């Protein structure tokens, strides 16, 4: 028999070292109680660092959930705190089982330290006040999620939600990979990080969304292979296991190939990785309108789905406000928080400050029925003075003229709004030159310190020399509606200024192309630069006319509808004595009010009478509003041409394929090993391309097969102990093949013939293959039905092999 001295010498020294560590005397099997190996303290820290790196690297998959990565530093602190305590507990072997409790405590302490230090003892120990604050934070995050399309704004509640989620995933990985010693099962945590972007963003999972979790998973697998759960270096695992790298690469390539083919297999997956999730709202018949952040996304979707049906005594469609944006000091512009002390009575409301009582009023009655809109903000025309037939609890904010539900929604409601607006004319607006009342909130005039110089310079150049606030407002509106600017839904997204914030305005005024968000924000900010209070209304531009006509309270009401493509934003400027006055700076959208049109204007859009938007100018529908809403499910983007059961079938097939992977991989490994054993080689003892000795190959197949049938494999046992345990498993009559397999393995591992009963190694190794099959057949005979099913379809050796 040819002996490879270098390999045998390494195996012998390793075996002797292991025997020395176990017995303490350098000999095998003397009955001496084992002594504990020195604790490799650095190993547990390496494991913690590996999981931290994997979690934070995999968090790249959350790209697109929020507008930026402002949550990253806070989440990093929470994840580090979650992993710190279990690493400290593993310093003492007796405390290692309590590592998950330590991770849970670290998670709570980390969240408290980062988000609620003022409510905690010493800034980190939570109190009942901390729990109440956390509950409120979760409620606010839920509100943002339910009323926002991705990317959501970078606000504290969303930071808390993401940090808490990543910390929990770190806890899960630490428990599965180290405490339970099932690092392969840690893939669950990485899949959880991929779900939000996969289901909630339009682009789905991008390249780094796959690479981050995949690299993190491989990092955890690799570190857990070399370090034991108690934080010690594994001495029983070869430093360079045969075939591990090729197998890992092959499995990774298979996963990537599977995920690449998935969009073609499952109907509806047409863009990105999982864009079907972005249409959950459409499929459920409910949509939301997010102010500023994803209004552009709503517009780009060009959805024909009806959001609102309403009847009004006005001769043309009107603007419907959903909420108001007035605080421009942050990166994202949001409605101001509602005070808890606001009046819930909606029978007699009025904006503050209001127009002078001497100004004539135009009274309107509007009967609104949301068709598919989900919102806690109440859509209503400007100048609301009373709301009837509205169920639930609602609060009215007179400062912003908005109504918000106190745990209530407009879903499945129908209500009547009475509104009054002052009769505005250019002459009245020209005379409104007084200083704004002191009671006007400062939020309507405040600007941040980072207003780009281009914005202020443009405001002064365009309207600085105008004589009155009205003239300045008209100058700004006419400048934005001039031929220098163009309306575009695509350019802003491509150029990176799809949202709100001062940097967005600078990019918009430079490129001079954008949509209503940019035009309204530019006019509102430049108006403040000139000293005119301003705010932005978000809602719907005048929609399309329907054929429905009804009588109510002695008035004739005409039918209108607003769809997703009517989502709109427009500025409102304050004039003392007249109140808040809407303007329309966006070319090609909405309708310019009569008081905001110049008599000699050459702009066709500015001189046109108040008419509905482009959609409204189309041929009027021949059905009622109710029929129009019923037809919405067949609108673009809802995959009406595909049966609803197809996605479920595709998902079921994918699940079955994933469940079959362990059996398929294990069967392939078994067939490959037996084929190598039955292929004679010139040396008689050398394996396939991996260079693994055939006796070692046969022994590994024996151990894997025994593990599949329930054998508790322990790498610290000698081959003799393994054979003894297997003999007990196989019953009173031990197959001769078991002794042959053990003897061949010991000869190759230690380089000496320990037993003379087994002669020279034959040139072929059919004897080893036959021995493996004989022992396998005995194991199948001894196993129960469930044992045989488990060994075939849920092979334990697969999870042990990839989980080491």
Do 365 and 312 contact (CB within 8 A), yes or no?
Answer: yes
The tokens describing 781, both together, are 């005979």
d(CA 687, CA 439): 89
d(CA 531, CA 706): 83
Query: 3-state SS of 694-749?
Result: HHHHHHHHHHHHHHHCCCCCCCCCCHHHHHHHHHHHHCCCCCHHHHHHHHHHHHHH
Whether the ω angle into residue 720 lies within 30 degrees of 0, i.e. cis, is no
Q: Among 33-42, 362-371, 432-441, 732-741, whose mean pLDDT is lowest?
A: 33-42
Q: Among 459-463, 516-520, 675-679, whose mean pLDDT is lowest?
A: 675-679
Of 178, 171, 213, 216, the residue nearest 194 (C-alpha): 213
Give me the pLDDT at residue 252, please.
55
> What φ, ψ does residue 514 adopt, rounded to 5°?
180, -165
Give me the pLDDT at residue 38, please.
41
**% the chain with pLDDT above 70:** 67
Model confidence at 253, pLDDT cuts 50, 70, 90, reads low
Do 571 and 432 contact (CB within 8 A), yes or no?
Answer: no
H helices of 24-127, in order, are: 41-58, 72-89, 99-115
Average pLDDT of the residues of the chain:
74
Q: Among 131-135, 328-332, 479-483, 660-664, whose mean pLDDT is lowest?
A: 328-332
Q: Among 90-94, 553-557, 708-712, whose mean pLDDT is lowest?
A: 90-94
Of 586, 619, 581, the residue nearest 605 (C-alpha): 586
Burial call 471-510: b when 16+ CB within 10 Å, e when fewer:
bbbbbbbbbbbeeebebbbebbeeeebbbbbbebbbbbbe
What 3-state DSSP class applies to 449?
A: coil
More confident residue, 129 or 247: 129
**Residue 314, pLDDT above cutoff 60:** yes
d(CA 592, CA 316): 13
The mean pLDDT value for 722-750 works out to 82
Give me the pLDDT at residue 25, please.
40
Q: What are the DSSP calls for 184-199, one per residue?
A: GGGHHHHHHHHHHHHH
Give me the pLDDT at residue 776, please.
87
Look-up of token digits 């039955």: 678
Beta bridge partners of 323: 538
More confident residue, 64 or 75: 75
Give me the pLDDT at residue 348, please.
76
d(CA 347, CA 387): 6
Per-residue pLDDT tens for 364-390? 999 999 887 777 888 999 888 889 888
Per-residue pLDDT tens for 24-45? 344 334 344 443 444 445 677 8
Q: Which of 165-169, 222-226, 780-784 has the highest mean pLDDT?
A: 165-169
């Amino acid at each position: 028999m040819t002996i490879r001295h270098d390999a045998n010498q390494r195996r012998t020294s390793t075996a002797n070292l292991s025997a020395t560590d176990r017995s303490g005397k350098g000999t095998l099997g003397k009955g001496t109680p084992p002594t504990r190996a020195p604790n490799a303290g650095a190993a547990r820290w390496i494991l913690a660092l590996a999981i931290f790196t994997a979690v934070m690297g995999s968090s790249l998959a959350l790209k697109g959930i929020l507008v930026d990565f402002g949550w990253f530093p806070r989440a990093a602190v929470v994840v580090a705190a979650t992993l710190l305590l279990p690493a400290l507990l593993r310093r003492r072997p007796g405390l290692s089982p309590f590592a998950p409790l330590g991770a849970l405590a670290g998670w709570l302490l980390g969240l408290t330290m980062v988000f609620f230090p003022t409510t905690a003892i010493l800034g980190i120990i939570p109190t009942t006040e901390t729990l109440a604050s956390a509950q409120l934070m979760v409620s606010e995050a839920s509100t943002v999620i339910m009323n926002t399309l991705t990317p959501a704004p970078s606000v504290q509640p969303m930071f808390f939600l993401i940090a808490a989620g990543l910390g929990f995933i770190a806890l899960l990985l630490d428990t599965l990979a180290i405490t339970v010693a099932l690092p392969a099962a840690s893939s669950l945590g990485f899949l959880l990080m991929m779900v939000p972007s996969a289901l909630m963003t339009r682009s789905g999972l991008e390249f780094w969304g796959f690479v981050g979790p995949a690299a993190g998973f491989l990092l955890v697998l690799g570190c857990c292979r070399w370090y034991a759960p108690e934080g010690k270096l594994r001495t029983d695992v070869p430093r360079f296991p045969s075939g591990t790298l090729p197998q890992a690469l092959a499995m990774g390539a298979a996963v990537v190939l599977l995920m690449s083919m998935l969009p073609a297999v499952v109907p509806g997956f047409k863009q990105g990785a999982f864009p079907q999730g972005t249409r959950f709202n459409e499929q459920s018949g409910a949509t939301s309108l997010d102010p500023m952040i994803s209004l552009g996304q709503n517009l780009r979707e060009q959805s024909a789905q009806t959001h609102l049906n309403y009847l009004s005594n006005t001769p043309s469609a009107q603007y419907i406000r959903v909420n108001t944006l007035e605080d421009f000091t942050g990166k994202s512009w949001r409605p101001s928080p509602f005070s808890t002390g606001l009046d819930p009575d909606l029978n007699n409301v009025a904006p503050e400050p209001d127009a002078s009582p001497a100004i004539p009023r135009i009274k309107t009655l509007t009967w609104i029925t949301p068709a598919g809109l989900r919102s806690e903000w109440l859509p209503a025309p400007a100048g609301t003075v009373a709301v009837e037939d509205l169920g639930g609890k609602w609060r009215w904010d007179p400062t912003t003229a908005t109504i918000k539900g106190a745990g209530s929604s407009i879903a499945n409601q129908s209500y009547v709004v009475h509104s009054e607006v002052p009769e505005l004319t250019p002459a009245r607006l020209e005379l409104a030159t007084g200083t704004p009342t002191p009671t006007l909130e400062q939020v309507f005039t405040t600007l941040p310190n980072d207003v780009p110089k281009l914005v202020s310079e443009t405001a002064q150049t365009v309207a600085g020399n105008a004589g009155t606030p009205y003239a300045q407002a008209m100058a700004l509106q006419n400048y934005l509606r001039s031929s220098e600017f163009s309306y575009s839904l695509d350019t802003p997204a491509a150029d990176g200024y799809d949202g709100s914030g001062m940097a967005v305005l600078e990019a918009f005024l430079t490129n001079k192309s954008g949509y209503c968000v940019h035009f309204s924000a530019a006019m509102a900010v430049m108006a403040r630069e000139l000293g005119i209070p301003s705010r932005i209304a978000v809602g719907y531009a005048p929609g399309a006319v329907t054929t429905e006509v009804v009588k109510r309270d002695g008035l004739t009401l005409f039918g209108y509808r607003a769809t997703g493509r009517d989502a709109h934003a427009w500025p409102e400027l304050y004039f003392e004595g007249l109140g808040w006055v809407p303007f329309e700076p966006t070319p090609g959208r909405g309708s310019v009010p009569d008081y905001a049109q110049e008599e000699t204007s050459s702009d066709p859009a500015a001189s046109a009478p108040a008419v509905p938007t482009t959609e409204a100018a189309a041929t009027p529908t021949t059905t009622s509003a109710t029929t129009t809403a019923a037809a919405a499910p067949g609108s673009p983007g809802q995959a009406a041409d595909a049966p609803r059961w197809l996605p479920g079938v595709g998902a079921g097939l994918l699940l079955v394929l994933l469940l079959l992977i362990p059996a398929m991989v294990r069967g392939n490994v078994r067939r490959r090993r037996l084929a190598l054993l039955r292929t004679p080689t010139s040396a008689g003892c050398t394996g396939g391309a991996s260079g693994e000795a055939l006796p070692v190959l046969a022994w590994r197949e024996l151990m894997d097969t025994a593990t599949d049938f329930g054998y508790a494999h322990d790498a610290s046992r000698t081959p003799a102990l393994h054979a003894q345990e297997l003999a007990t498993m196989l019953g009173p009559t031990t197959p001769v093949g078991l002794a042959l397999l053990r003897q061949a393995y010991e000869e190759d591992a230690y380089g000496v013939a320990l037993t003379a009963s087994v002669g020279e190694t034959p040139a072929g190794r059919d004897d080893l293959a036959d021995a493996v099959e004989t022992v396998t057949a005995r194991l199948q005979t001894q196993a129960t039905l469930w044992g045989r099913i488990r060994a075939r379809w849920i092979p334990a050796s697969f999870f042990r092999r990839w989980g080491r």
